[in-house]
Structure 1
Amino acid sequence: MSSFQVEEAMAAIGRAIAKHRVRCGISQLELGRQLGVKDEAMSRLERGVVTLTVDRLVQLADIFECNVADLLTQGSHRTTDQARYVSQLLGKLGTDDRTMVVEFVERLAARLAHR
């Protein structure tokens, strides 16, 4: 993995952390307190400037009540990771809403493939 790819992955993980934090209604300050880090460190973490340890990822997953894999794959550019994430999102919807989303994605993908 090139240094650019590592930086890109860390930024994606940071965005996933920020998304989970907001979803849980936790401020950066509060999350920092729970992790035992200062405000600036929390900001750097969400910007992907800091390389996370496995221990820190586990702590975050516990706080957000999600899997560590969720934090690692939500920002991934790998097709299989993206498909897994979309599947999780669809799993939260009812049958009619899932059908509508799938039809929308089919139309959008067809349109974008012709560009």
Structure 2
Amino acid sequence: MAVMSVEPNFVKIGQNIKIMRIRKGVTQSELAKKLGISQTHMSNLEHGRVSVNLKVLLRLSHYFSCGVDALLGLTLNTEVKPQEVEDKYTAEELLDILKVLKKQVI
């Protein structure tokens, strides 16, 4: 039996984290503090520049009240959808969401 190798898509994971963070109404800095990581590391996670370790992934799952599979984009029909974001966000945050959407379409 062949073993199937699946490479994680850290850019997609980062986009999911960012959308969930914005939906929850917290800044990168606030979320980083809650996770016990630096704001720089949080930014790198959201941009897919670094891999997310299991400890941080589990903390994110708990904070967002979702399964790890949702953060990884592995669950069918549970992908984070930016249209679920409420209208209470700044123009800068909405532009960030649009950038994420544009990357997903391409």
TM-score (norm. length: structure 2): 0.63
Question: What is the aligned partner in structure 1 of residue 62 from structure 2?
Answer: 62
The question of 1:51 aligning with 2:44 is answered: no
The C-alpha deviation readout for 1:48-85, integer Å capped at 9, x for no partner, is 11111222111001111111111011xx6xxxx5x523
Alpha-carbon distance in structure 1 between the residues aligned to 2:78 and 2:67: 12
| Percentage of matched positions with identical amino acids | 31
Question: What is the aligned partner in structure 2 of residue 102 from structure 1?
Answer: none
Identify which of 65, 69, 85 aligns with 2:78.
85
The question of 1:39 aligning with 2:39 is answered: yes
Please give the secondary structure, in 1, of the residue aligned with 2:50: coil
The structure whose residues are more often helix, as a share, is: 1
Question: What is the aligned partner in structure 2 of residue 18 from structure 1?
Answer: 18
Alpha-carbon distance in structure 2 between the residues aligned to 1:42 and 1:56: 10
Bigger radius of gyration among the two: 1
* Paired residues, number: 78
Alpha-carbon distance in structure 1 between the residues aligned to 2:12 and 2:66: 16
Runs of 4+ in 1 over 4 A off after TM superposition: none
Structure 2: runs of 5+ lacking an equivalent: 85-106
Please give the secondary structure, in 2, of the residue aligned with 1:31: helix
Question: What is the aligned partner in structure 1 of residue 30 from structure 2?
Answer: 30
Tell which has more relative contact order, 1 or 2 (C-alpha 8 A, sep 6+).
2
Alpha-carbon distance in structure 1 between the residues aligned to 2:36 and 2:72: 21
